[in-house]
């Protein structure tokens, strides 16, 4: 079995490679990435020798139809997981065009190439599967006590989430029009090893270690649901193995917290681990809120829990402490990441 993983050198793609090759010793991954600032092949230096022998990295872009087509000519690809995406909301507000190119045109180019290669006489290869990795941000913002379900209308509020929603809709349209064996996962905020330092949790860690101001949008009472990345990888695995085509699966960590509470929690753990009393809440600086900032996200993962028997296993306290320790022990990796 050869699985094609796009966006493989990014945060979640990297963690998925480690998870998948460790779980399935008889399977292979062909990973592609165009290696923007957020992707790095150095992420795979920690693979074990047996895992390295089953992992092939190829530099490439999902918008390049000729390149994607050639992968099918050279590899017996039995499935695809599409992590490839521009994913930073602030960057999308500064300039949306790159997000449209990757998250909309990229998804269309990928699935259209797949259709031309594999859809023969209106039939798909029996075991071929495709998962589009999406985000709960496509649903927009929630009021108190609500949760996103798979039936929640798509209502994106920023260019990033709009581009992801557009890619999702193309996948669904191919499922309905061509019988495309596609599935969509929409997850809550991830945290864990290998996340780029521009993201909230590693940003807090690095600024705190350097005694720099930690900017907090508005009052910091925005609410997010946090999911440990390994649990997310296990959910994707469950969808790939047991999910039904043309279905959406919401993946949530059931760890709902305000941004300000999350920051305070990280600072407390860092101070405890390092013994540095200058790491404290005085580093927090409130700044004007982000344009189009969604107030509250919360995922209802009941569908994937009941139908596919997945549930998050990592307790928030354990996952957060493990994440903080990883960044403390990999400061060279952090410093080599370019923004």
Main-chain dihedrals φ then ψ at residue 141, nearest 5 degrees? -110, 155
With beta carbons less than 8 A apart as the criterion, state whether 84 and 102 touch: yes
Rounded CA-CA distance 195/324 in Å is 11
With beta carbons less than 8 A apart as the criterion, state whether 212 and 270 touch: no
Among the listed residues 18, 19, 20, 160, the single catalytic one is: 160
Rounded CA-CA distance 333/197 in Å is 10
With beta carbons less than 8 A apart as the criterion, state whether 58 and 32 touch: yes
**What is the per-residue DSSP string for 101-115?**
IIIIIHHHHHHHHHH
126 is catalytic: no
Query: Which residue, among 111, 238, 106, 113, has the nearest Cα to 181 in the 3D structure?
Result: 111
For residue 287, what are the contacts with CB-CB under 8 A and spacing of at least 6?
215, 216, 217
With beta carbons less than 8 A apart as the criterion, state whether 186 and 3 touch: no
90 is catalytic: no
With beta carbons less than 8 A apart as the criterion, state whether 293 and 90 touch: no
Rounded CA-CA distance 300/317 in Å is 21
Among the listed residues 61, 136, 225, 294, the single catalytic one is: 136
Report in angstroms the alpha-carbon separations of 338 from 36, 40, 197, 198, 211.
9, 10, 9, 9, 20
Q: By CB neighbour count within 10 A (0-12 exposed, 13-18 middle, 19+ buried), where does 96 fall?
A: middle
Q: Give me 262's structure tokens.
A: 């999350």
Rounded CA-CA distance 153/313 in Å is 28
137 is catalytic: yes
Among the listed residues 137, 225, 294, 300, the single catalytic one is: 137
Which residues are the active-site residues?
136-137, 160
């Amino acid at each position: 079995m050869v699985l094609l993983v796009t966006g493989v050198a990014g945060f979640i793609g990297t963690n998925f490679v480690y998870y998948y090759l460790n779980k399935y010793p008889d399977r292979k991954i062909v990973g592609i990435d165009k290696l923007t600032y957020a992707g790095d092949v150095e992420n795979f230096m920690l693979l074990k020798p047996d895992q390295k022998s089953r992992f092939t990295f190829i530099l490439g872009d999902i918008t390049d139809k000729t390149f994607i087509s050639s992968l099918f000519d050279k590899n017996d690809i039995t499935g695809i997981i599409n992590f490839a995406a521009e994913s930073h909301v602030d960057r999308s507000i500064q300039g949306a065009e790159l997000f449209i190119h990757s998250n909309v045109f990229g998804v269309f180019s990928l699935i259209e190439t797949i259709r031309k290669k594999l859809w023969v006489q209106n039939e798909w290869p029996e075991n071929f599967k495709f998962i589009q990795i999406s985000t709960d941000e496509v649903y927009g913002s929630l009021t108190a006590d609500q949760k996103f379900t798979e039936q929640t209308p798509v209502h994106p509020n920023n260019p990033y989430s709009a581009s992801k929603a557009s890619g999702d809709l193309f996948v669904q349209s191919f499922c309905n029009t061509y019988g495309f064996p596609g599935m969509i996962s929409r997850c809550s905020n991830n945290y864990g090893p290998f996340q780029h330092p521009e993201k909230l949790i590693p940003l807090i860690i690095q600024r705190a270690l350097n005694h720099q101001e930690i900017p907090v949008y508005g009052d910091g009472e925005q609410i997010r649901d946090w999911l440990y990345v390994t649990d997310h990888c296990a959910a994707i695995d469950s969808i790939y193995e047991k999910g039904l085509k043309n279905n959406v699966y919401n993946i949530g960590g059931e760890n709902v917290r305000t941004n300000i509470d999350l920051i305070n929690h990280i600072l407390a753990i860092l101070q405890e681990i390092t013994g540095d009393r200058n790491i404290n809440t005085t580093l927090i600086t409130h700044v004007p809120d982000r344009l189009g900032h969604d107030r509250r996200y919360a995922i209802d993962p009941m569908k994937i829990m009941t139908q596919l028997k997945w549930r998050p296993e990592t307790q928030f306290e354990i996952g957060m402490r493990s994440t903080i320790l990883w960044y403390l022990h990999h400061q060279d990796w952090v410093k080599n990441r370019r923004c």
